[in-house]
Amino acid sequence: MKLKWAILGALFTLTAVLTGCEPLTVLDPKGPQAQTQADVIWISIAIMAFIVITVFVMLVYILIKYRGSKQADSYEPPHIEGNKIVESIVVGIPIIIVAVLSIISVQSTYEVEAKPEGYGDKEPLVVYASSSDWKWHFSYPEQDIETVNYLYVPTDRPLEFKLYSYGPITSFWIPQLGGQKYAMSDMITTLHLAADVPGEFMGRNSNFSGEGFAENTFNVTAMPQQEFDDWVQEVKQTAKPLTEEKFDELLEPGHLGQLTFTGTHLGFMPPPKGHHEGHGAGGEDHSEHSSHESENAEHSEHDNNNNEHDHESDEAASHNE
């Protein structure tokens, strides 16, 4: 009777606890990258559940079938040799499970690291996402605007985030759109995402970065392209410009609300030059970046040569006088 009440009490407690739990956002995907990761999670759960259930069924069967019985003191159990079939199954099944999970993991990793499929030749929206203690700065170079602690993105368009940090290593993560990726101070990492449907999502820093880590979050709003364009126009008409002095204030440790500016900090405080595109992605972008740097270096060298030539001409003119 006591065992019965104990089991009923445990069931009621478990039901009450699970009723108060919120749904897992990683299993509620709103983009192609997140959908791939959710599928992998469900496949892993199914495989592990099959293994656990099979093991427990076999355990119960063995305990019942081979349970101890009252035998004479002189009883000797029969001698049993090893069974090659059983040993092959015991060794082979784990190998198969590990191989299947490895293949799924590698394929899904390359898939989520690449640009989202199904968007044709649509140009991605490039957003520079930088972190500081303890806030997020989002720079839109194409739109020439910048936001703090909130992000507006269009739906049905690939998103390309350039991640870096003005402080410790952080991790950019929007669970319903895709997996996390680290942001570091000495290099840019690229994260490809996309939102299939409009909605509001939660984003955060998932890497511990000090006492303000718990509130290092940001809001993400996905909307149709026309609404996104209207928002951009509204920002340009109403927001104040971002100055270098103001940006230095924003980098000071502390928490802030949501802020909006015209212009970005990319002009007066450019991001790191190093790039890391990830597996199977961005080789072309890296080469373009290198070519742009080479062109800039050539132009800079040409300007220096012109300046030196002008300086020599001025000296010669003054000497003749």
For the stretch 244-262, pLDDT in tens is 999 999 999 998 999 999 9
Q: Is 320 inside a domain boundary? A: no
Question: Which has the closest alpha carbon to 262: 147, 152, 145, 149?
Answer: 145
> Which residue did the predictor score with more confidence, 286 or 148?
148
- How many beta carbons lie within 10 A of that of residue 186, not counting itself? 9
Classify strands 259-262 and 240-241 as parallel, antiparallel or unpaired: parallel
Work out the pLDDT band at 311, boundaries 50, 70, 90: very low
Q: Can you say how many angstroms the Cα of residue 196 is from the centroid of all Cα atoms in its chain?
A: 17
Give the position of tokens 């590698």. 106
When the pLDDT of each residue in the chain is averaged and rounded to a whole number, the result is 83
> Which residue did the predictor score with more confidence, 297 or 146?
146
Instruction: Provide the residue range defining the domain that includes 126.
Output: 24-65+84-302
Q: Is 4 inside a domain boundary? A: no
Work out the pLDDT band at 76, boundaries 50, 70, 90: confident
Q: Is 281 inside a domain boundary? A: yes
Burial class (CB in 10 A: 0-12, 13-18, 19+), 35: middle
Q: Is 1 inside a domain boundary? A: no
Q: 153 has which bridge partners?
A: 222
Three-state DSSP state, 81: coil
How confident is the model at residue 307, as a pLDDT? 46
CATH code for position 124: 2.60.40.420
Task: Provide CB contacts within 8 A for 189, sequence distance 6+.
Answer: 162, 163, 164, 181, 182, 183, 276, 277, 278
What mean pLDDT is predicted for residues 280-296? 41
How confident is the model at residue 17, as a pLDDT? 52
Q: In this predicted model, what pLDDT tens digit does every residue of 96-127 receive, in sequence order?
A: 999 999 999 999 999 999 988 887 788 999 99
Sign of CA pseudo-dihedral 99, 105, 109, 111? positive
How confident is the model at residue 301, as a pLDDT? 43
Report the C-alpha gap between 142 and 150 in whole angstroms.
Answer: 17
Q: Is 269 inside a domain boundary? A: yes
Q: In this predicted model, what pLDDT tens digit does every residue of 187-231 receive, in sequence order?
A: 999 999 999 999 999 999 998 888 888 889 999 999 999 999 999
How confident is the model at residue 8, as a pLDDT? 67
> Which residue did the predictor score with more confidence, 111 or 297?
111
Q: Is 311 inside a domain boundary? A: no
How confident is the model at residue 88, as a pLDDT? 92
What mean pLDDT is predicted for residues 10-18? 62
Q: Is 18 inside a domain boundary? A: no
Three-state DSSP state, 148: strand
| Count of domains forming the chain | 1
Report the C-alpha gap between 50 and 38 in whole angstroms.
Answer: 18
Q: Is 310 inside a domain boundary? A: no
Q: Where are the alpha helices (DSSP H) in the chain?
A: 2-19, 32-65, 84-113, 225-238, 244-250, 283-320
How far from 320 is each of 59, 123, 312, CA to CA, in Å?
A: 104, 59, 13
Report the C-alpha gap between 238 and 240 in whole angstroms.
Answer: 7
